[in-house]
Amino acid sequence: MPTINQLVRKPRKSKVEKSKSPALNVGYNSHKKVQTNVSSPQKRGVATRVGTMTPKKPNSA
């Protein structure tokens, strides 16, 4: 527990709130090649790989 004098010299710092989804707050202008801060909650992730998987042997009919 800090003393009153310590709190007067250096007050308590408030917590910095970090975004849980920082990628949704960033836009990219490909024409100017610049990142912009735009809140866009409708943005979703991009599928990096699409494919089919064959079933494992015991489960196949």
DSSP string across 1-61: ---HHHHHHSPPPPPPPPPS-GGGGEEEETTTTEEEE---TT-----------PPPGGG--
What distance lies between CA 56 and its chain's CA centroid? 35
pLDDT at 59 over 80: no
**10-23: per-residue pLDDT in tens?**
999 999 998 877 77
Q: 28 falls in which pLDDT band (50, 70, 90)? A: confident
Bridge partners of 36? 27
Place of tokens 């699409």: 50
